[in-house]
Amino acid sequence: MIRHTHPMRQTLTNDLNPIRVLIRQAQEEDSASGRLVDFLEHRQAHLHNAIKLPTEKAAICLADFVMRYIRHVPDFIEAISTMAKEAGIYSEVSPLLKIASDYFLSPPSLVGEHSQLQALLDEAYLAHRLLEEVNDRFMAQSGIPLAPMDMTLANIIAHELIGEPFANELDQAVLFSAELLLNEHRLEGENVRRYVYQHQHQGWEEELKRWPCLTEDLAIEIDFGKPPGVWH
């Protein structure tokens, strides 16, 4: 199994390259072993009945979702980093992005020793849930999200794939990290207030044009049916 090693700290932007290498290596390894599909074939019988799967090749559909969910982490980090730099709030946002990156580069001990892609799913869940948690708290504080992305539905599906009680342990780790992060690095100050004012009045149209992956995930483009009253 490929281990996550990172001999020296680099800039956040440079950290995304080894993350993408890890993902590519894990995908190549799994293409030879097929362990992810085997795992998902077992897990699909235990998913909440709100998650509707196609009658054929359900595990393949889930594997596609897992891969895109994992790959979106460095994409999201890069997009938020760019937005933050342009808005002059990178110093306030970079600690959040560093934690999300470190979930891959220096994963916490609770991430299990299973297949490489399963480990990356756990780490992607931690990163996406942290971004979701900080987004929610920033929304409560300012009335707008920190970034125009909504991974709630995808995170629910990932939670189901990981399974309880372990997914709940990952959630608790995220809440702990978010609490520490926001106590030490408050998202406030003149530049943050200007950022909030701008997006309260202009919305996110320009950002969503530039980063179509964000609009893609607002709709959660996966091949699952929509349970009534939940997915629109």
Among 4, 3, 19, 118, smallest CA distance to 78 is for: 19
pLDDT at 34: 87
Q: How far apart are CA 91 and CA 85, in angstroms?
A: 8
Q: Report pLDDT digits (tens) over 109-139.
A: 888 666 788 999 999 999 999 999 999 999 9
pLDDT at 96: 93
Structure confidence at residue 99 as a pLDDT band (50, 70, 90) = very high
Structural domain spans, the chain? 12-219
Structure confidence at residue 151 as a pLDDT band (50, 70, 90) = confident
String of DSSP letters for 71-113: HHHHHHHHHHHHHHHHHT-HHHHHHHHHHHHHHHHS--TTS-S
- Supply the mean pLDDT for the chain: 83
What tokens were used for 218?
A: 């607002």
Structure confidence at residue 61 as a pLDDT band (50, 70, 90) = confident
Q: Region 21-45: what's the mean pLDDT?
A: 90
Sign of CA dihedral 20, 23, 78, 211: positive
pTM: 0.85
Give the H or E element holding residue 137: helix 116-142
Q: How far apart are CA 209 and CA 193, in angstroms?
A: 23
Is 3 in a helix, a strand, or coil? coil
